Structure 1
Amino acid sequence: MRAASSGGGAPFFVMDPLASDAPTDAFLSRRVPLAGRMRLIYAPLGDDAFSRYTGGRFRHFRQFCEGVLEPDSVALDIGANIGLTALVAAETARRGRIYAIEAAPRNFAALTRNVFEHGASVIRPIHCAVGPETGSVPFFDHSAFGYVVARENMTSVPSTSVPMRRLDDIADEVGLSRLDVIKIDIEGFEQEALTGAAGILARFQPVVMLEFNSWCQIASYDKSPRRFLEWLLATFPQLHIWRDGRLTDVRRLGVYEFLHLNLTRHRCNTDLIAAYAPDRLARLEALSAQGGLAGLRRRLGF
């Protein structure tokens, strides 16, 4: 493991995926289906989310990766948890680079072990939270649902201090010269993370997959989901729902219809795909067109 920092800020940590010193008794493990095959995966002891894992959760993420990544692509996996999404992405970007960024210390230990055990040398784990500024933040370490603790909640939520970095700073420090995809799932803190990525968003114009979780936005940060949605629409010319292997244009739905779907049918959790140019989504659009009744009719020649 090595520490890195810039401008005297708090260090973050990049773990060599070929060396893991975490004790084996710190984990639970079992074989689970992932990216088309069974894998032995490690998770922190007491990880309830992992104990309920069945494999279906990442099927649509694998389709996304196949639609937007190339074998030599570079991606940022923000909120990488124990490394499952990074391992899925590495199946497509097998000659590229996946920077797997995770704030929770116990998840990060499992992430580095999973990368090591599966020989995924294209994955580079980084330990830190991401946000609009450099420093340190309180973090609630809670399985797959950990989050940066808002200052006003510090006295009521148990937390541990972790380094926070801007994605722009991380990109500079690792010498990023290409960026194709950002996947971000950090329990309602997505806007803050993207604010700290303004430079790389403008420079590389990557495809962004993010979780829109209205419950987390309200409960953890007292934020307006509508304001966040309007910010996304103002920032990205392309904004789509990615669900069941299909893209749905958010602009065509409208703000009210999207929020109604998110709060009712999607149970507050919607995966969104954002991009600057439609050509970045061409293959994903083609995959989307193959799904559903319309795609079935086309394949049958009707």
Structure 2
Amino acid sequence: MPSIRVLGHAYRAWRRNRAWAKHEPETPYLADLLSGAPVCLHVGASDGRHSYVMTQVAPKAQIHAFEPSAFTFEVLKVCLAWHRISGNVTPVNAAVADAPGELLLVTPIKMSGRMARGYAYLAAERPQSPVRPDFEDKGAQVEPTAVTTLDQYCEAQGLNRVDFIRMDVEGAELKALKGAEHIIERDRPHVLIEIHPLMLEGRFSGSAQAVLEVFLSRGYRMFALNADRLEECSDVDVEAPWKDYFFVHPDRAADLPDGVFKARMAA
């Protein structure tokens, strides 16, 4: 039986989904990417709000939702059940990186004493405070988490095609993408990824530019929301601590549903 705290967090997410409230501004554009019965990987699934949107715009979608936090994973499962989309979404209690194994999930504690679950990230060792270069904390909660790679997971699950990846991993973007090189080469999936320049450099010895090279070197085109307008771009906004970017490959343009991405890719 889920705890009262789990049920409370799940109810808040469920209620917001039902009201279509407080979704990230990029989520409406999923309808311009997904149709038919796409296979989707939701990496850093949290309470599953993006998974919910995917099932609404593509009801036959099959989604694999990765969430490393033990607490948030319970919230995710409750939300899936309440929305009656458990048949569409496979929850996976694991983090994603460039090699399988075990790492630590570091969840900062806000100055108010509350858990900053949306700021949790992977680490090999317990960090000293401040635990993030972009967050003021009063310590952190640390828990071990299983780690897989997307390539390994897809092989084990017999996923012979991946159509879409939503990734929000708080600075571990480059590690996660290195563990997905095979499916990116094979399938050229559409990708919506949150890029964290400060975390990439400060905690993962990476860079936003290296993340871009994964896609741009393979011929992907890059889009981002600026204000309320979707615009094509070629670089990351380094002034922002994080920002979402869409990557769409020309080889997949013909399969896009009618919408803004199909129109832009034809231009």
If the TM-score is normalised by the length of the shorter chain, which range does it land in?
0.7 to 0.9
CA distance in 1 between counterparts of 2:94 and 2:40 reads 17
CA distance in 1 between counterparts of 2:68 and 2:151 reads 17
What residue in structure 2 maps to residue 15 of structure 1? none
1:135 aligns with 2:106: no
1:117 aligns with 2:100: no
> Aligned in 2, Cα 1:288/1:239: closer, same or farther, shift over 3 Å?
closer
What residue in structure 2 maps to residue 160 of structure 1? 143
> Aligned in 2, Cα 1:193/1:154: closer, same or farther, shift over 3 Å?
farther
Contact 2:149 2:176 in 1 (8 A): yes
Q: Which runs of 5+ in 1 are unaligned?
A: 1-20, 40-54, 252-257, 291-302
What residue in structure 2 maps to residue 4 of structure 1? none
Q: Residues 180-259 of structure 1 correspond to what in structure 2 (within 5 A)? A: 180-244=163-227, 246-251=229-234, 258-259=235-236
What residue in structure 2 maps to residue 47 of structure 1? none
1:263 corresponds to which of 238, 245, 251: 238
What is the root-mean-square deviation of aligned Cα atoms in Å? 2.9
> Aligned in 2, Cα 1:221/1:281: closer, same or farther, shift over 3 Å?
farther
What residue in structure 1 maps to residue 41 of structure 2? 76
1:224: Cα distance to partner?
A: 3.0
> Aligned in 2, Cα 1:201/1:154: closer, same or farther, shift over 3 Å?
farther
1:182: Cα distance to partner?
A: 0.4
What residue in structure 2 maps to residue 58 of structure 1? 24
> Aligned in 2, Cα 1:190/1:263: closer, same or farther, shift over 3 Å?
same
Structure (1 or 2) with the larger CA radius of gyration: 1
1:236: Cα distance to partner?
A: 4.4
What residue in structure 1 maps to residue 120 of structure 2? 146
Contact 2:151 2:182 in 1 (8 A): yes
CA distance in 1 between counterparts of 2:197 and 2:23 reads 19
Contact 2:99 2:179 in 1 (8 A): yes
2:2 corresponds to which of 22, 33, 36: 22
CA distance in 1 between counterparts of 2:259 and 2:6 reads 43
1:66: Cα distance to partner?
A: 0.4
Q: Which runs of 5+ in 2 are unaligned?
A: 108-115, 132-139
What residue in structure 1 maps to residue 66 of structure 2? 101
1:276 corresponds to which of 239, 245, 249: 249
1:38 aligns with 2:19: yes
Amino-acid identity (%): 20
Number of residue pairs aligned between Structure 1 and Structure 2 = 243
For residue 287 of structure 1, what is the amino acid of its counterpart?
V
Q: Alignment partner of 1:113: what SS?
A: helix
Contact 1:181 1:206 in 2 (8 A): yes
> Aligned in 2, Cα 1:72/1:224: closer, same or farther, shift over 3 Å?
closer
Contact 1:242 1:273 in 2 (8 A): no
> Aligned in 2, Cα 1:78/1:243: closer, same or farther, shift over 3 Å?
farther
What residue in structure 2 maps to residue 11 of structure 1? none
Q: Can you list the C-alpha shifts for 1:247-292, whole angstroms capped at 9, x where unaligned?
A: 42323xxxxxx34xx233xx222211123326538857842699xx
1:59: Cα distance to partner?
A: 4.3
Further displaced range: 216-225 or 67-76: 216-225
Give the TM-score, by structure 2 length.
0.79
1:220: Cα distance to partner?
A: 2.6
> Aligned in 2, Cα 1:198/1:165: closer, same or farther, shift over 3 Å?
same
Give the TM-score, by structure 1 length.
0.71
